[in-house]
């Protein structure tokens, strides 16, 4: 295996685990591959450089991807240009397959895209607050940067000058000077609705779950505004359903109510509401669709990866529908720079099916994300919402 040959730490680890390549004869044997936990990439462990497979000064090394985190202990994953290009291809594949916009309209000409997030430049500046390493880029920023390749989104987090003056005077800071550009959303939707039917574009809304939920339940609800947009599409990502995102705490967001609110306030069809799941340490991005049966988003494993659900006590692999455990993601792609081909994340998931989705027929294992296990404060990729 390439990781054993190119990384001394992993080689010693594989020897300690008594791993033998000759033991890999069938798909179930993938569980024998020694995995690395996401916590190993934490800056505090000092292991992130030890997990590199190429020299740091190598021309192939492009950047450190850093997880969004305000506790001072982010994950750091080295990535090459090839790694980033694979991550881009996975993200675009996920968008095409799980956001049901006609292919020819997955661009700025056929769809109006609005993102409840800061722009990429702002994301990059946030990344520099999490670590002294350079070059560095937020994992979330990388994903947002990728989406600009197929659309031209309007980022809805805006800097308000008058609020800035107040915040400087009251708190000697600028955190409260940022907010949602609600006027742009209302104006854009109304302008599009006033056009002839054959001139109207689809509306695609994405970004932070918390910010979108706040926009619906504060601004739209209090202003008694409802839209009739059956051809709109809503996609969230980054987690935060349990009400914890970094040090920020807020009431938990019920998935069923969130989906219901999207239908009520935007007129979006349930089948046009999706969630995306991924984490900094792995290059794989998982798409989903809403399931009335499970009252949850069913996530699908793409053909470029395999997943293993491991028992939370024994770490033995589980393969029966309904089993709950830690999620492990394995892939040979997009891992040229760091040892991240087999990553165990401390998220609890429930296995729905193996090989094929029982509802949409997508080939590959499917699962539900129950949430973070050990880190109840939640260090996910949307934690930068605390800035707002």
Percent of the chain at pLDDT above 70?
Answer: 85
Residue with tokens 């020897």: 15
Two tokens at 347? 């998220």
In 3D space, the residue among 71, 72, 54, 74 whose CA is nearest the CA of residue 62 turns out to be: 54
In 3D space, the residue among 188, 244, 232, 235 whose CA is nearest the CA of residue 209 turns out to be: 235
Residue 232 near residue 203, CB atoms below 8 Å: yes
pLDDT of 110-128, one tens digit each?
789 999 988 888 788 878 8
What pLDDT is attached to residue 120?
Answer: 83
Number of alpha carbons in the 13 Å side-chain half-sphere of residue 71: 18
Nearby residues of 298 by Cβ (< 8 Å), 6 or more positions away? 288, 289, 290, 291, 352, 357, 359, 366, 367, 368
How many other CB atoms sit within 10 Å of the CB of residue 134? 9
pLDDT-derived band at 334, boundaries 50, 70, 90: very high
Residue 114 near residue 203, CB atoms below 8 Å: yes
Nearby residues of 254 by Cβ (< 8 Å), 6 or more positions away? 241
The mean predicted confidence, pLDDT, of the chain is: 86
Rounded mean pLDDT, 222-226? 96
Residue with tokens 């129950």: 370
Tell me phi and psi for residue 288, to 5 degrees. -150, 170
Two tokens at 189? 């939707």
Rounded mean pLDDT, 66-90? 87
d(CA 127, CA 65): 9
d(CA 166, CA 282): 41
Two tokens at 205? 């809304």
Question: What does 287-334 look like in DSSP terms, one character per residue?
Answer: EEEEETTTTEEEEE--TT-EEEEE-TTT--EE-STT-EEEEEEE-SSS
Characterize the bridge pairing of strands 232-237 and 244-245: unpaired
Percent of the chain at pLDDT above 90?
Answer: 61
Tell me phi and psi for residue 232, to 5 degrees. -90, 160
Using only C-alpha atoms, the chain has a radius of gyration, in whole angstroms, of: 21
Question: What does 195-240 look like in DSSP terms, one character per residue?
Answer: S-GGG--EEEEEEEHHHHHHIIIIIIHHTT-----TTEEEEEES--
What pLDDT is attached to residue 171?
Answer: 53
Supply the CATH classification number for the domain 35-387.
3.40.50.12780
Rounded mean pLDDT, 15-32? 91
What pLDDT is attached to residue 118?
Answer: 84
pLDDT-derived band at 165, boundaries 50, 70, 90: very low
pTM over 0.85: yes
Higher per-residue confidence, 146 vs 264: 264
d(CA 304, CA 316): 23
d(CA 83, CA 61): 10
pLDDT of 170-221, one tens digit each?
555 545 556 889 999 999 999 999 999 888 888 999 988 989 999 999 999 9
Two tokens at 31? 């569980």
Rounded mean pLDDT, 48-61? 95
Evaluate if residue 226 carries a pLDDT over 90. yes
């Amino acid at each position: 295996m390439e990781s054993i040959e190119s990384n001394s730490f992993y080689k010693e680890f594989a020897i300690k685990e008594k791993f033998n390549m000759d033991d890999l004869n069938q798909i179930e044997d993938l569980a024998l591959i020694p995995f690395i936990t996401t916590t190993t990439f934490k800056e505090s462990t000092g292991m992130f450089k030890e997990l590199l497979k190429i020299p740091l000064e190598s021309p192939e090394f492009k950047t450190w991807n850093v997880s969004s985190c305000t506790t001072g202990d982010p994950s750091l994953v080295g990535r090459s240009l090839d790694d980033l290009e694979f991550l881009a291809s996975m993200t675009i594949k996920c968008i095409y397959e799980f956001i049901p916009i006609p292919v020819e309209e997955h661009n700025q000409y056929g769809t109006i895209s609005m993102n409840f997030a800061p722009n990429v430049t702002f994301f990059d500046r946030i990344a520099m607050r999490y670590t002294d390493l350079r070059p560095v880029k937020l994992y979330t920023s990388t994903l947002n940067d990728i989406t600009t390749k197929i659309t031209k989104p309007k980022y809805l987090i805006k800097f308000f000058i008058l609020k800035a003056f107040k915040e400087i005077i009251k708190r000697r800071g600028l955190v409260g000077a940022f907010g949602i550009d609600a006027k742009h959303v209302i104006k854009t939707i109304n302008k599009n609705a006033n056009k002839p039917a054959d001139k109207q574009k689809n509306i695609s809304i994405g970004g932070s779950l918390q910010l979108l939920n706040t926009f619906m339940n504060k601004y739209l609800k209090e202003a008694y505004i409802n839209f009739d947009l059956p051809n709109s599409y809503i996609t969230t990502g980054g987690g935060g359903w349990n009400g914890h995102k970094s040090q920020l705490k807020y009431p938990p967001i019920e998935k069923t109510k969130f989906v219901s609110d999207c239908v009520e306030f935007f007129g979006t069809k349930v089948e046009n509401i999706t969630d995306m799941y991924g984490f900094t340490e792995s290059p794989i991005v998982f798409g989903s669709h809403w399931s009335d049966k499970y009252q949850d988003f069913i996530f699908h494993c793409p053909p470029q990866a395999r997943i293993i659900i491991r028992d939370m006590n024994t770490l033995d692999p589980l393969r029966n529908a309904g089993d709950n455990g830690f999620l492990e993601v394995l892939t040979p792609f997009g891992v040229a720079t760091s040892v991240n081909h087999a990553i165990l994340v401390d998220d609890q998931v429930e296995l729905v099916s193996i090989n094929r989705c029982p509802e949409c027929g997508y080939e590959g294992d499917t699962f539900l994300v129950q949430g973070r296990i050990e880190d109840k404060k939640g260090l996910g990729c949307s934690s930068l919402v605390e800035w707002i």
